[in-house]
Amino acid sequence: MAGYKRPRCESESPADAEQSSGSVGAKKSKNANGETGSPKRKRPPRDRAEEQLLDRLDREQYEEVMKLLPNRFELAYREHYAREKFWDQFYSTEGPGTCPERRNQTLNSRVRKIVEEHRKSCPWYFWGLEGYTRERFPKKWPHFYKDGDAGDASEDSQLLYPWDELNATTASSPATPKGADKTGLWDLPSSEMEKSIEDVKLQMAEIRTVLDEKEKKANELRKKTVAMVNELQRKTVTDCAKIEAEASEKVDEVRREAAALTNKIQTEADAKFNEIQTDVSKLEEAMKEKQTVLEVQEITLAARKANDSHGNQ
């Protein structure tokens, strides 16, 4: 089927009218001079000065969001909300509300320390932000791709973050955006390349010094931790043995006291019982004697009454 060529508008040139298969193509945008061309697209920074400018503009955007939030909300809530808005504005590719950071997410101590350090220079940072490509830039960002250099915008063309000191260069050497084309490094004049080599060596020496210091601190901390753990374990064993010995002695003492008290109670009870039994025996003997007297007197009285009755007849 032959392609359908739509009629062009009055404002279009013949070159602007596109041929399509049954559908009407969109009209190309025009620049300020009325000429057609690709729409301008903002690019990442390419040197340290541009990075510093972008950081300042980003900070202004973040602070504007923070100012809009009432102080009655907790600081942690306001900061998280501002980070979400920053993500929606400059990173999100799926619309608002897709920020990967979870509220009150749990991080281990090492990660928390890294996040705290990054937020000193980049308050909108959250753990994992480095893994995402920035999509948009502030309105005041003045740098755009020019014709022919739009191909530099790859997923690896990530701008330097404010905390990325290892990738930052000194003021006397050219700065290169993170992941950008580094061809300029190999095309430097010999004098500048020698200076660059010296700068890199100095930076490596500084890094090595810091690394050695960190490793030394790590080893000292490891030894100190092992010593503390061993001491605690020894103390625990000693304390447990002492407590067990004291507890065993205390149990024996309690048992002895209980046995003595039981024996005393039993002895006193036996004495009381014997005393009562003696009294009972005496009372029973007295009862027998009284019973004998009673029987004799009753028989005697009955005999007398019988004799008296017989004599009166």
32 pLDDT tier (thresholds 50, 70, 90): very low
Q: What six digits make up the tokens of 159?
A: 């701008």
Is residue 138 over pLDDT 90?
yes
88 pLDDT tier (thresholds 50, 70, 90): very high
Distance in angstroms (rounded) separating the CA atoms of residues 242 and 220? 33
What pLDDT score does 72 carry?
A: 86
34 pLDDT tier (thresholds 50, 70, 90): very low
Q: What six digits make up the tokens of 233?
A: 């374990």
Nearest to 103 by CA among 87, 121, 73, 81: 81
Is residue 137 over pLDDT 90?
yes
213 pLDDT tier (thresholds 50, 70, 90): confident
Distance in angstroms (rounded) separating the CA atoms of residues 78 and 307? 128
Is residue 157 over pLDDT 60?
no
Mean pLDDT across 14-21: 45
What pLDDT score does 164 carry?
A: 57
CA 44, distance to chain mean position in Å, is 33
What pLDDT score does 150 carry?
A: 54
Distance in angstroms (rounded) separating the CA atoms of residues 195 and 285? 132
* Contact by Cβ (8 Å): 16, 36: yes
What pLDDT score does 148 carry?
A: 63
Residue 159 vs residue 117, higher pLDDT: 117
Average pLDDT, the chain: 77
Percent of the chain with pLDDT over 70: 73
How many other β-carbons are positioned within 10 Å of the β-carbon of residue 305?
A: 10
Q: What six digits make up the tokens of 80?
A: 């998280």
The helix/strand/coil state of 186 is helix
Rounded to 5 degrees, what angle do the CA atoms 287, 288, 290 make? 65
pTM: predicted TM-score of the whole model, two decimal places: 0.41
Q: List Cα–Cα distances, 231 to 220, 224, 235, 270, in angstroms.
A: 16, 10, 6, 58
> Strand pairing of 4-5 and 19-20?
antiparallel
Is residue 287 over pLDDT 90?
yes
Is residue 57 over pLDDT 90?
yes
260 pLDDT tier (thresholds 50, 70, 90): very high
